[in-house]
Amino acid sequence: MKVITRFPPSPTGNLHIGSVRTALFNYLFARHHGGKIHLRFENTDEERSKREYEQNILDSLSWLGLTFDPICDKQYWRQSERKEIYRTYLKKLVDTGKAYVSKESATTLESSSPDPLPHRLSVSRRARERGAEGKRRDEVIRFKNPNKKISFEDLIRGHIEFDTTELGDMVIAKSLEEPLYHLAVVIDDSEMDITHVLRGEDHISNTPRQILLQEALGLARPAYAHIPLILAPDRSKLSKRHGAVSVTEYRDRGYLKEALLNYLALLGWNPGSDREIFSLAELVQVFDLSKVQKGGAIFNEEKLRWINKEYLRRVDPKEFVRHIPESLLAGKTDIQRESISEMLFDRVSVYGDMQTGLDSGEFEYLSRDPTYEKELLRWKKSGESPTLHLEAVRSLLENLPAASFRKSRLKEVIFPYAEEKGKGNVLWPMRVALSGRAESPDPFALAAMLGKEVTLRRLSHALNSLR
């Protein structure tokens, strides 16, 4: 089966995760069938389209590792560079009577929208069709609607039929030099030889409009598949208020690109098994469009964090250390640095968690002696004083060389005594003495991260406070 798909972002903002999921599905479908995928920037709305947004999109796709096939010796197309091509098609429509120049009064422009445009073409875009920034146009080009029923077989949703009569004569250009979205899309899809259009379900209402234009121009109709939208937990459309952010923000938060792609692939698609971790190459192998669901997919950042944690487990330790904020390691010995790295590796799900913890004071015990109420040193399930146990722990550690202050060795030295006297009775006051907290890494990890000198000083301070 010949497959050529496309990803056509509008550079009017940074690349959003919903758009990435669309790009990913197109990529997986094309690569699974040994086909091609092309990139184009749909910037007919030149007032809102900006080169910095275009660069953000390119940077995001590059970071994710999604590659595109060049077309006509270009890595991608810009619609703003193809106006002369659109003009030729538009003139053909006008010359054959399938479109016409419409003289419109201010009242007509204000009140007679060619269609309700409930999805892709919002009210704001409809206003721009009539003239930028509120300026009313006295003349536009409208498509002469044949007022017929249009049907197509959606590869995900099955048979869909529209009565286009209610659309009226839709505006397709402001002038011969200013095509609008629907016309440019139809022409580009044809000239790119697009065989399959995979896009969000919010584009369903655009499809009959574009089919009408394809038929009027004598262009081939691609196959259509409309994928479910990504929804917020309350099943409303995902927006920034729900935490939806640009791809580069996820990158800067410390998410791994492999985890982000893996998670987005599972939003609205199921491999047919319980497996959840896939590399990009594995996703290409197993991707099946028939397994894309019809209902909206709920975005769950906790699930994304879980998947990211699974990928972090596979990261080389040297690569992990490179992401640790230097202030957590400054002035530490090699053994301490290694111990801190091990603790963070166990606790964080995203690289950014380390900076978040640092900013919140979670790791304050690594750089300054803690303060706490001495009652916190007493194990809650015991009525006995922790003094004797802290003295015993300090005595055991005093005899241990500083070079042996590793978590495994510290546990070998202290754990037999803790098992004999009660683990809570021994390990709880040791933990509090070293961190000043009821919740922190285990006391062996704490001692390894702090080193011998600081560990003994904090144990002595705890004993002094008890006395």
In the annotated binding site for ATP, the residues are 240
3-state secondary structure of 142: strand
**Closest CA relative to residue 302, chosen from 243, 357, 361:** 243
b/e per residue 54-73 (b: at least 16 CB within 10 A): bebbbebbeebebebeebee
User: Which residues, listed in sequence order, are joined to residue 99 by a DSSP beta bridge?
Assistant: 143
Active site residue 240: yes
What is the Cα–Cα distance from 355 to 361, expressed in whole angstroms?
10
Place of tokens 């992401």: 323
What is the Cα–Cα distance from 84 to 95, expressed in whole angstroms?
16
Marked catalytic residue, from 240, 291, 380, 423? 240
DSSP 255: -
Neighbours of 173 (CB within 10 A): 25
Give the H or E element holding residue 342: helix 334-347
Q: By the 8 A CB rule, do 234 and 243 touch?
A: no
What is the Cα–Cα distance from 80 to 77, expressed in whole angstroms?
9
Q: By the 8 A CB rule, do 398 and 465 touch?
A: no
Q: Which two tokens stand for residue 155?
A: 């590869």
3-state secondary structure of 306: helix
| Sequence ranges of the binding site | 240
Task: Provide the CB-side half-sphere exposure for 221 (13 A, CA).
Answer: 18
Neighbours of 168 (CB within 10 A): 16
Neighbours of 317 (CB within 10 A): 11
Q: By the 8 A CB rule, do 39 and 6 touch?
A: yes
Q: Which residues of 269-394 form beta strands (DSSP E)?
A: 297-298
The residues annotated with a catalytic role in the active site are: 240
